[in-house]
Amino acid sequence: MADRNFFGITTAEREKVFMTLYKKAFPAVAKYVSKMGGSFDGAKDIFQDALVIYYEKTVSASIELQTNEQAYVLGIAKHLWAKKFRENVLHTSLDTYRDDIMDEEDMQPSPAKLLHYLETAGQKCMEILKAFYYDNLPVNKITELFGYSGVRSATVQKYKCMEKVRETIKEKNLAYEDFIE
Amino acid sequence: MRISLNEIKLIDDHIFNQGTHEDALLLDALLILNPALSNQIRWQKKAHTIIKQYGRKKLKAEIESVHRKLFHEPIHQSFRLRILRLFRPG
């Protein structure tokens, strides 16, 4: 099973890991993109998307932790590069890696205004939910990170936050018409 | 936990395929008793989509911060030059 804590718990710990990955893997990706006629900015975009995918796969334990991250990240980047050109679309990269749990409707881009609203009106909740669902941190680490008295308090808070976000989405009606920019 | 929070857990287990067979049967029964529950499932899936977007946005900001350091701080000059050399016109 992959080490879900490989990327660390805090932002500072993740920064160290990303710095190491950047130094180890970016040169190979940049070389490849350059060889394929791409630009520095193109290499940067592809590489950063590849890092996001690598992160998501690792923390969700859907892949084994790679002993050769350089080769693995390069592989993702090559796939993204090929797909970008096959579809001739500039920003499709991350959308190609769908979650099995999401149906097609749910993977449509959510309105930016709703995300912005939740970021400002409920940032603490969004951070807690991110820690649980996106970063997949163990509940004891989340308890520590957010200063809860115990694992049970943290778990109850997770569901309270989910209730709050769900109700907000319901109120704002995700039929999108209220949020069309 | 409050009943509504237990319902959220039950829906989460359904979405992530983590519940027991009994949980699945309970959810089926609740859906028969309360058809509006299917909307709650829909909103909860949307919530997960929004959380994922939020997570990606924050993660990309962290990665971008690393990129800025590598390509602007003097300590990383040799790395920067090594990369930029690859994109110099021939």
Q: How would residue A173 be classed by pLDDT, with cut points 50, 70 and 90?
A: low
Higher pLDDT, A70 or B75: B75
pLDDT at A66: 61
| ipTM entry | 0.89
Q: Report CA Rg, chain A.
A: 19
Count CB pairs under 8 A between chains A and B. Answer: 123
Q: Which two tokens stand for residue A164?
A: 């709050």
pLDDT at A94: 60
pTM above 0.80, yes or no: yes
d(CA A162, CA B12): 10
Higher pLDDT, A116 or B12: B12
> What confidence tens digit (pLDDT) does each residue in A13-38 have?
999 999 999 999 999 999 999 999 99
Residue at token pair 């630009």:
A39
The nearest CA of chain A is from the CA of B31 a distance in Å of 18
Question: Which chain A residues are within 8 Å of B61, Cβ to Cβ?
Answer: none
Question: Which chain A residues are within 8 Å of B1, Cβ to Cβ?
Answer: 156, 159
Q: Are B70 and B80 in contact (CB under 8 A)?
A: yes
> What confidence tens digit (pLDDT) does each residue in A81-117 have?
988 877 765 555 565 555 544 444 444 445 677 788 8
Question: Taking 80 as the threshold, does the pLDDT of residue A76 lie above it?
Answer: yes
CA distances from A164 to A6, A72, A157, A160 (A): 31, 38, 10, 6
Find the CB nearest A159 among B8, B43, B50: B8
Find the CB nearest A14 among B62, B82, B84: B62
Question: Taking 80 as the threshold, does the pLDDT of residue A80 lie above it?
Answer: yes
- What DSSP character marks residue A90? S
> What confidence tens digit (pLDDT) does each residue in A42-67 have?
999 999 999 999 999 989 876 666 66
Q: Are B70 and B76 in contact (CB under 8 A)?
A: yes
Q: Which of A19, A22, A40 to mutate to test binding with chain B, by most B CBs within 10 Å of its CB?
A: A22
Overall residue count recorded for chain A in this entry: 181
> What confidence tens digit (pLDDT) does each residue in B35-72 have?
889 999 999 999 999 999 999 999 999 999 999 999 99
Question: Which chain B residues are within 8 Å of A30, Cβ to Cβ?
Answer: 83, 86-87
**Is B50 close to A55, i.e. CB distance below 8 A?**
no
> What confidence tens digit (pLDDT) does each residue in A139-162 have?
999 999 999 999 999 999 999 999
Q: How would residue A3 be classed by pLDDT, with cut points 50, 70 and 90?
A: low
Closest CA to B47 of A177, A174, A98: A174
Residue at token pair 């996106």:
A134
pLDDT at A176: 55
Find the CB nearest A106 among B12, B46, B83: B46
**Is A18 close to B47, i.e. CB distance below 8 A?**
no
Q: Chain B neighbours among A 2-21 (CB < 8 Å)?
A: 11, 14-15, 18-19
d(CA A134, CA A50): 16
Q: Are A54 and A7 in contact (CB under 8 A)?
A: no
Residue at token pair 């769908």:
A98
Mean pLDDT over all residues of chain A? Answer: 82
* Mean of pLDDT values over A5-17: 86
d(CA A159, CA B1): 9
pLDDT at A116: 82
Mean pLDDT over all residues of chain B? Answer: 92
Query: Helix, strand, or coil here: A102?
Result: coil
**Is B56 close to A22, i.e. CB distance below 8 A?**
no
Higher pLDDT, A88 or B34: B34
pLDDT at A65: 61
**Is B48 close to A102, i.e. CB distance below 8 A?**
yes
